[in-house]
Structures are given as structure tokens and as C-alpha cells.
Structure 1
């Protein structure tokens, strides 16, 4: 048999203008004829859009940054 538990956490607050970095940790315990085994996995998910220059739109009514 197998039993597991996981935890996921967003490192950047999630809202309409951001894509969060997410960290996940999963611990699994498996029982087989060869004995028990414990696995731990760590996963960090990074949005690829941040590396391709995707810009965040300016707020409504914002003027130019320089005049």
C-alpha cells in the first residue's frame, strides 16, 4: 500500500497581475514485500513568462512615467 501527504505554498501573492512561484513538498510511504520505503519530493514551479519580458499592464488612468 501507499500513503502520502503534501503541502503547497505560493511564494508570491496570487492575483490577476502575477503568476506565483509555487513550492510543493510531498512525503510518501510505501509498503511492499521488500519492506517499507519513504520518499520525499520537493518541487519549485516558476512561471516561464517572467523570463520572456511579459509586461504587467499599467493601472487605468496612469499617465506616462516621464514628461
Structure 2
């Protein structure tokens, strides 16, 4: 059973698809801190919280 909640962690690819941008763009944003989009590190992996992406899409901080 799959549940989707605002605390769900998405991969960079999934987050990019949601935002309709290239995954490389998210990588650049994370390294340059261009936008206040928090990144969650799970070991070496980069993840994005669904709630953070939804807030970003709304234009809120």
C-alpha cells in the first residue's frame, strides 16, 4: 500500500518531474542556494520533502 503525505521524501528525479524541470537544475539550485528549497541528505542520497516542494510551488518561503 502506498501512502502520500507531506512528509514523503522524493528523489531528485521525482521532485524535478513534479516541478517540471530537469534534475540537473535542482542540483544547481542546491549547490548555489539559488532558491530556499531545503534538501534532505540520507547518507549520500539527496531527497526533497513533498511539503517543501508544495510550499515552493505556492511561492511561499
Shorter-chain TM range is under 0.3
TM-score, structure 2 length as denominator? 0.18
TM-score, structure 1 length as denominator? 0.17
Higher strand proportion (structure 1 or 2): 1
Q: Which has the higher contact order (CA 8 A, sep 6+)?
A: 2
Higher helix proportion (structure 1 or 2): 2
